[in-house]
Amino acid sequence: MKQNLALFDLDNTLLAGDSDYNWSLFLIKQGLLDEKTHQARNEQFYLDYKNGNLDIDQFLAFQLKPLSEHPLAFLDALHVQFMQQVIRPMMTQKAQNLVNQHKAQGDLCLIITATNSFVTRPIASAYGIEHLIGTDPEMKDGRYTGGVTGVPSFKEGKVTRINQWLAARGQTLASFATSYFYSDSHNDLPLMKLVSHPVAVDADTILSEYAKQQGWPQISLRD
């Protein structure tokens, strides 16, 4: 019998909030980023994302630079704090129940997110999801460079990355009986249109309207 594939977006889908946006706020609170220069840009990038006109290259240059300024051990310790103070309160029981349900059915589960894998891998682990596709920060000699490795998993980039990931396993989307993709954002429409069972989760206005027209299920994972 064919296995099912369950893909999950992370920010504002499994999480009741945005890990990327809040990582910058967290660094500002820790005194590691200047509030004046970073707060306004962070807000603008977040607005651009919601409006569907984010310049992903500019955003990643902004978002990954702080990783290049500290040793990995320091960043890892900082992330533990970030998980406790910021992320855990955003993790909902409904989201965990959905993940558990797919795992119990034996489905192959994967988080696919535009947010970088440094920020998101521990969150995926906290949900009990082994597989993660995030935008990969470049590393050299055990330190982040501030650059990106490979294709950012954003918009059409999510399609590229899932196809690459499945190909490495000798699979395609057609290998699965049912392929689910849960997302809140119209930025994810390129991948949502390819799976057999797209689900809009606490969807933005554009996605909600599109889902309604297509007859896609719409759910909430907020507790």
48 a catalytic residue: no
* Ranges of residues in the chain whose predicted pLDDT is under 50: none
Q: Which of 11, 184, 188, 204 is catalytic?
A: 11
Going by their DSSP bridges, the two strands 197-201 and 218-219 should be labelled as: parallel
Fold of 5-219: Rossmann fold (3.40.50)
pLDDT of residue 36: 86
Domain extent listing, the chain = 5-219
Q: Which of 9, 136, 184, 202 is catalytic?
A: 9
204 a catalytic residue: no
Contacts 24+ apart (CB under 8 A), 147-156: 147/64, 148/60, 148/64, 152/56, 152/57, 152/60, 152/114, 153/112, 153/113, 153/114, 154/54, 154/56, 154/114, 154/187, 155/56, 155/187, 155/188, 155/190, 156/190
Q: What's the pTM? A: 0.96
Instruction: Give me the DSSP letters along 6-45.
Output: EEE-IIIIIBSS-HHHHHHHHHHHTTSS-HHHHHHHHHHH
Neighbours of 200 (CB within 10 A): 27
pLDDT of residue 49: 92
Placement of tokens 């006109």 in the chain: 53
